[in-house]
């Protein structure tokens, strides 16, 4: 790809959690022009709005990050909304990029697309070996359908679309909304409140035995921009840290960072989600030299500090 200084880059979702970090990476690398659309002006679930966005932006590169996401609770409450919104946004963005012959399109998928019982570490080749975990299957399948779309367009039209699969993201600027937050911001919010109010116990969904792999948002942003620079193949690529942690261990680490020393109660009547998550990062290291830099303990401390400073 040409130098970033020569590129006009459209980042859908660029004002969001991951998008803000990606835009910061692009600015640090001297991007020529950065276009960050807002949903109030461009509804990406409507093909006419996507067409207008591309006509206004005239991008050389598209990085598609816009998504409707949430934790287990949000996935259980709004499966149809998460499926349709993510499928339509990605479909219309990929098609408009093809129609306008955009030089490169980067589509970011989700770890939720992997089968429920994928062998650990998750290899990209195992992506189609079973059905995703039920609580987030609609979201995961909608995002996985975009991989099919990308590969089909490449085969038929020669469209340069790459597809990345980051693990669970976290970091400063995350969504701490009680209805939509993922596990790390949810636990930070609840342990901080309990520590300050002196209340105990704090309840955590599930058995605590499920595991997750978390990727600090700045590491994810660097991997996405590295891939945009140097990766041009049809195969999907994992982005991860290689560090697997149980929800129980995670909860105790976050409680300590938040100053909470009360009881933690796990509720096995609530779903665990996928039993284990850790990805094989060999492909990302081989093709564009990506390795995560921020260890979990450091990333959690930085996220807790940010929350204390910025919460309402």
Distance, CA of 11 to CA of 107 (rounded, Å):
10
Can you give the three-state secondary structure of 94-157, one letter per residue?
A: HHHHHHCCCCEEEEECCHHHCECCCCCCECHHHCCCCCECHHHHHHHHHHHHHHHHHHHHHHHH
CA atoms lying within 13 Å on the CB side of residue 63: 29
Distance, CA of 94 to CA of 66 (rounded, Å):
12
Q: Which helix (H) or strand (E) holds 91?
A: helix 79-99
Q: At 260, is the secondary structure helix, strand, or coil? A: coil
**Cα 288 to the center of its chain, rounded Å:** 19
Confirm whether 92 is a catalytic residue.
no
**Cα 4 to the center of its chain, rounded Å:** 23
Q: Between 79-99 and 137-157, two packed helices, what is the crossing angle to 10 degrees?
A: 10
Selecting among 42, 92, 114, 139, the annotated active-site residue is: 139
Distance, CA of 177 to CA of 17 (rounded, Å):
13
Q: Catalogue the active-site residues.
A: 139
């Amino acid at each position: 790809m040409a130098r970033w200084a020569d590129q006009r880059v459209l980042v859908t979702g660029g004002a969001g959690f991951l998008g803000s970090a990606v835009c910061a990476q692009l600015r640090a690398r001297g991007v020529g022009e950065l276009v960050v659309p807002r949903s109030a002006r461009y509804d990406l679930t409507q093909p006419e709005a996507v067409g207008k966005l591309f006509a206004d932006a005239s991008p050389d590169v598209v990085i598609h990050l816009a998504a409707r996401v949430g934790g287990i609770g949000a996935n259980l409450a709004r499966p149809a909304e998460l499926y349709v919104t993510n499928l339509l946004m990605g479909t219309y963005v990929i098609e408009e990029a093809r129609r306008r012959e955009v030089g490169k399109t980067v589509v970011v998928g989700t770890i939720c697309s992997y089968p429920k019982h994928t062998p650990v570490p998750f290899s990209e080749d195992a992506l189609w070996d079973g059905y995703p975990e039920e609580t987030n299957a609609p979201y995961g399948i909608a995002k996985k359908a975009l991989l099919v779309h990308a590969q089909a367009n490449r085969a038929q039209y020669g469209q340069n679309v790459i597809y990345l699969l980051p693990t669970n993201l976290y970091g400063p600027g995350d969504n701490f909304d009680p209805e939509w937050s993922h596990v790390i911001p949810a636990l930070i919010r609840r342990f901080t409140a309990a520590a300050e109010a002196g209340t105990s116990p704090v309840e955590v969904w599930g058995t605590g035995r499920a595991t997750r792999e978390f990727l600090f948002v700045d590491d994810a942003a660097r991997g996405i921009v590295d891939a945009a620079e140097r990766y041009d193949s049809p195969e999907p690529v994992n982005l991860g840290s290689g560090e697997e942690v149980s929800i129980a261990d995670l909860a105790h680490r976050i409680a300590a960072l938040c100053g909470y020393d009360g009881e933690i109660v796990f509720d096995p009547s609530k779903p665990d989600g996928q039993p284990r998550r850790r990805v094989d990062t060999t492909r990302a290291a081989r093709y564009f030299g990506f390795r995560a830099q921020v260890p979990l303990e450091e990333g959690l401390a930085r996220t807790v500090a940010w929350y204390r400073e910025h919460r309402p």
